Amino acid sequence: MNTGNGRNVVVVGTQWGDEGKGKLVDWLTESAHGVVRFQGGHNAGHTLVINGQKTALHLIPSGIMRPGVTCYIGNGVVLSCAKLLEEAEGLERAGVRVRERLRISQACPLILPVHAVLDLAREARRGAQDGQKIGTTGRGIGPAYEDKVARRALRVQDLRHPERFATKLRELLALHNQTLLGFLEAARIDFGDALAPYLKNGAVQFEPVYEEAMRHARAIEPMMADVSRELNEASRGGANLLFEGAQGTLLDVDHGTYPFVTSSNCVAGNAAAGAGVGPGALHYILGIAKAYCTRVGGGPFPTELAWETPGTPGYHMSTVGAEKGVTTGRSRRCGWFDAALLKRSAQVNGLSGLCITKLDVLDGLPTLQLGIGYELDGARIDILPLDADDIARCKPVYETLDGWSQSTVGVTRYEQLPGNAQRYLQRVEQLTGVPIHIVSTSPDREHTITVRHPFLAD
Ligand code: GDP
């Protein structure tokens, strides 16, 4: 579909990530000329199923699967050239043309091996100290963002200037190797085989990092771009753009369950800053929410169930929903849908509409619980608090609804949903104050109910 008037849609996760954004982004790409990543790194993980083929993408926008769509990596993304090229080569082996259609912002900070080393060392120390790991993916995303904010990051544009790159890299390694030494005195840390070539006597070596970066530079150079300028020009030319958020709102570094969060802003507003367009260019904000709730890694989760116990609703969600991370293979914790959490998400993103995914996973549960608020220190509240310690003390308040026994798998029309499924969705709308515009009923692109299409103007 081409609406002909340059409309821009932002897709964000409204929970703790893994809401099924990948499928929806892919589905929406049908109406887009460009797809833009604006935050995060290769810690995102989308699974797409196209013609029964599963494809996992971590960094390259999933729009790459559609010929004719240009994909952009905005300045808000931290970039591992090694991972990007690995992913590009994998896609090209599968017959997908990547290099002609991928544009990478020159302003992206680089993730270097030293960042993954620091990430693993810190998480190991946290684990040894108090057992309170953040649950990072160990890929260096957090340390790379720290360097960005500290104004010492090497950026994609530095790859064009070998001497400048070398000087900055020497300074960066001198600083980080000192920190590493301190960690290694306190504990033995296993960095694994992948990082071994860069390490000697507990320090990251200049030569292997520099030489590899220069090799990458040659491969990346043709894709380097002024992404902000290209996006603004495309918009002026009438192109529809899709801004693809990674992770989820409750993992946002400001608005999430801090410190159990990712290192970037995942909220819709960052689509503007992380890509270089004005906030007025974001016309429609689609919030993706699972029909229940999941979370990977540590941190509070008020509606969490005993998802490891066979025969329980949580176990049903975990197994029927196949709740394992695409990027890490870690099991996701499962629990009931939390409308009070969604309320916070709706507020900080300014959601235009909701897409409820994985409704089919709830098929067959006789009763469903909807989290409508919490009890905290004897008081009743109806929105997720800001302080992670407060969230951990929240006792969820539930409303019980009847489930449905019919299968909703593959349903494509709202009226064909069982009455109780429709009532469940209506209650979610009432409680969150956001209209449901899309419902997803299987991983397949075609199995999608459209109440209102985000790319159609109001
Ligand atoms: P993302 O990071 O938000 O894209 O989410 P993931 O890709 O990590 O996880 C979503 C998983 O759910 C993927 O395996 C999808 O194929 C799958 N999925 C997406 N939508 C649906 C749906 O409506 N029903 C079912 N059963 N699975 C879905």
Q: Which of 328, 330, 302, 327 has its CA nearest to residue 318?
A: 330
The pick from 357, 407, 409, 446 for probing ligand 1's pocket by mutation, whose C-beta has the most ligand atoms within 8 angstroms, reads 357
Best mutation site among 11, 29, 47, 327 for ligand 1, i.e. most ligand atoms within 8 A of its Cβ? 47
Which residue of the set 46, 176, 216, 283 is catalytic?
46
Predicted confidence at residue 415, as pLDDT, reads 97
Is 442 near ligand 1, meaning CB less than 6 Å away? yes
Task: Look at residue 191 in the predicted model and tell me its pLDDT.
Answer: 87
Q: Determine the residue of 12, 19, 21, 23 to mutate for testing ligand 1's pocket, defined as the one with the most ligand atoms within 8 A of the Cβ atom.
A: 23
What whole-number distance in Å separates Cα of residue 68 and Cα of residue 53? 20
283 is catalytic: no
- Report the atom number in ligand 1 closest to the C-alpha of 322: 14
Whether 287 lines ligand 1, by a CB cut-off of 6 Å, is: no
Q: How far is the CA of 389 from the centre of ligand 1 (A)?
A: 30
pLDDT of residue 4: 47
Q: Is 252 in the pocket of ligand 1 (CB under 6 A)?
A: no
* Mean pLDDT by groups of 10 residues along the chain of 458 residues: 71 95 90 96 73 75 89 98 92 87 98 95 75 71 96 98 98 96 81 91 95 97 97 95 96 95 96 97 97 93 96 96 79 96 98 98 98 97 96 97 98 97 98 97 95 91
Helices (H) and strands (E) counted in the chain, each on its own, are 13, 20
Beta carbon of 248 within 6 Å of any ligand 1 atom = no
What CA–CA distance (Å, rounded) separates 402 from 421? 9
Residue nearest atom 15 in ligand 1 by C-alpha distance: 443
Quick check: CB of 23 below 6 Å from ligand 1? Answer: yes
User: pTM of the prediction?
Assistant: 0.93
Ligand 1: centre distance to CA 9 (Å): 20
User: Residue 292: which residues within 8 A CB-CB, separation 6 or more?
Assistant: 317, 321, 334, 335, 336, 337, 358, 361, 362
CA of 230 to the centre of ligand 1 (A): 31
Count of C-beta atoms within a 10 Å radius of residue 418: 17
- Specify whether 46 is catalytic: yes
Q: Using a 6 Å cutoff on CB, does residue 445 contact ligand 1?
A: no
User: Which residue has the CA at smallest separation from atom 20 of ligand 1?
Assistant: 443
Assess whether the C-beta atom of 20 lies below 6 angstroms from ligand 1: yes
Determine which helix (DSSP H) or strand (DSSP E) holds 360, and give its type and residue range. Answer: none
Q: Say if ligand 1 is within 6 A of residue 454 CB.
A: no
Instruction: Report the pLDDT value the prediction gives residue 2, as an integer from 0 to 100.
Output: 43
Q: Which two tokens stand for residue 458?
A: 């109001």
- Residue 323 CB–ligand 1 contact under 6 Å: no
Q: Which atom of ligand 1 is nearest to the CA of 359?
A: 23
Nearest Cα residue to atom 14 of ligand 1: 47
Per the CB < 8 A criterion, the answer to whether 418 and 404 are in contact is: yes
Is the shortest distance between the CB of 357 and ligand 1 below 6 Å?
yes
Who's near 182: CB < 8 A, 6+ residues apart?
Answer: none
Q: Which DSSP symbol is given to 279?
A: G
